[in-house]
Amino acid sequence: MNEMPANRPPPSTVSPIGAREAITGFLVYVERERRLSPHTVDAYRRDLASFAEFMDREVGEWAPDGVDRLHIRGWMRSLSQAGRSDNTIRRRLSALRALYKYLYRMEYTSSNPARAVRTPKRSSSLPEWLTRSQTSKMFDEIEEETRRLAAGVNSAEASSSAESTISRPAELQRATRDRAMVELFYSSGLRLSELHGLDRSDVDFEGGLVRVTGKGARQRIVPLGSPAARALKAYLSISASLPEQGSDGRRPLFTTTTGRRLSRRQIQRVVRRILASVSGAGSLSTHGLRHSFATHLLDEGADLIAVKELLGHASLSTTRVYTHTSRERLLEAYRKAHPRAE
């Protein structure tokens, strides 16, 4: 698709539109017509709300057709002063450009001022990941917690205490669920939004596969490792009494103890709590498990294109960052190839 010019003479057909109306119309467009994922739509909503709040504060009453590049540069400067990273500012500027591209096409504005603003350089910081020893320690601790809770439930049931019917089984269900989530993140390299959107029908235990809906509503099939499959089966067996389906007719894979789909924030809290118990991993989040998945594959000699497909990347350049993080692989190659490495 050809890029449209940054400016054009204001046509007589340009229709005035308010700022809130413009943003709402754009969000409806990307959700219903472009069919972007709910996660992407939410990101657009947050990024555009940031610009709208800046304009409300600095200008007061404003309309999209009255915005110029100085307004946008002032907004970006305020984001930088607030400690936002260059990557965050890049993403927010990209959202504003997408909004103005839509408004220009709909003839609500005569120009796209966001195109005239220089994009901040991409941050060169490398993703963080778990080492193999950290990964083993994490799963050992999760297994120990699950085993302890299961023993407590059996003991409480034997004594027929009231706690056995309420507290301990609920704790065991949560622990089993949390273990299955972490296993699946690491086993299949999923994004947070992808794991959040999984339904029970997306898991094929017989084939050892999971159907994932990624960015741009693109679907892909990823492998389900044996430990993850066992953890999922254990979780599903203990949560079999939950409702058959949600209000939308779907049956979420990961739920609360009442059967409601876990929110992304709830999933993040679970993973952060588990990682906080691993020495040196306290700063990692759900994406750290995805980074670990890719790095460990490359450490073992996996093909870069195969890793790209497993991660659901649209471009190979996005996957190449993991070749720089795989220190163990580089050291191993050095030890094997250099004549005086030992």
What was the pLDDT predicted at 243? 60
**Domain region containing 37:** 19-116
Do 306 and 158 sit in the same domain of this protein?
Answer: yes
Question: Which residues contact residue 305 at a Cβ distance below 8 angstroms, ignoring those fewer than 6 apart?
Answer: 316
Do 306 and 217 sit in the same domain of this protein?
Answer: yes
CB 177 within 8 Å of CB 235: yes
CB 241 within 8 Å of CB 218: no
Q: 87 phi and psi, to 5 degrees?
A: -65, -40
Spatial CA neighbour of 239 closest among 225, 227, 256, 262: 256
Joined together, the tokens standing for residue 201 give 């029908």
The answer to whether position 269 is within a domain reads: yes
The answer to whether position 175 is within a domain reads: yes
What was the pLDDT predicted at 36? 86
CA distance 216 to 182: 24
The answer to whether position 218 is within a domain reads: yes
Do 141 and 77 sit in the same domain of this protein?
Answer: no
To which residue do tokens 């163990």 refer? 328
One-letter amino acid at 226 equals S
The answer to whether position 301 is within a domain reads: yes
Q: Whole-prediction pTM value?
A: 0.69
Alpha helices, H only, 223-285: 226-238, 264-276
What was the pLDDT predicted at 299? 83
Do 139 and 109 sit in the same domain of this protein?
Answer: no
Do 246 and 303 sit in the same domain of this protein?
Answer: yes
Question: Which residues contact residue 335 at a Cβ distance below 8 angstroms, ignoring those fewer than 6 apart?
Answer: 341, 342
Do 151 and 194 sit in the same domain of this protein?
Answer: yes
Name residues of the chain where pLDDT drops below 70: 1-14, 122-126, 153-168, 241-249, 324-330, 332-333, 341-342
What was the pLDDT predicted at 323? 75
DSSP category for residue 199: B
Domain total of the chain? 2
CA distance 41 to 27: 7
What was the pLDDT predicted at 329? 60
Do 108 and 154 sit in the same domain of this protein?
Answer: no
What was the pLDDT predicted at 63? 93
The answer to whether position 158 is within a domain reads: yes
Do 197 and 308 sit in the same domain of this protein?
Answer: yes
The answer to whether position 296 is within a domain reads: yes
* Total Cβ atoms within 10 A of residue 252: 20
Catalytic residue positions, numbered? 191, 215, 287, 290, 313, 322
What was the pLDDT predicted at 165? 45
Q: What is the CATH number of the domain that holds 95?
A: 1.10.150.130
Do 191 and 57 sit in the same domain of this protein?
Answer: no
Do 184 and 291 sit in the same domain of this protein?
Answer: yes
Instruction: Determine the number of helices (DSSP H) and then strands (DSSP E) in the chain.
Output: 14, 3
- Domain boundary among the residues 116, 144, 170 is at 116
What was the pLDDT predicted at 121? 77
Do 281 and 318 sit in the same domain of this protein?
Answer: yes
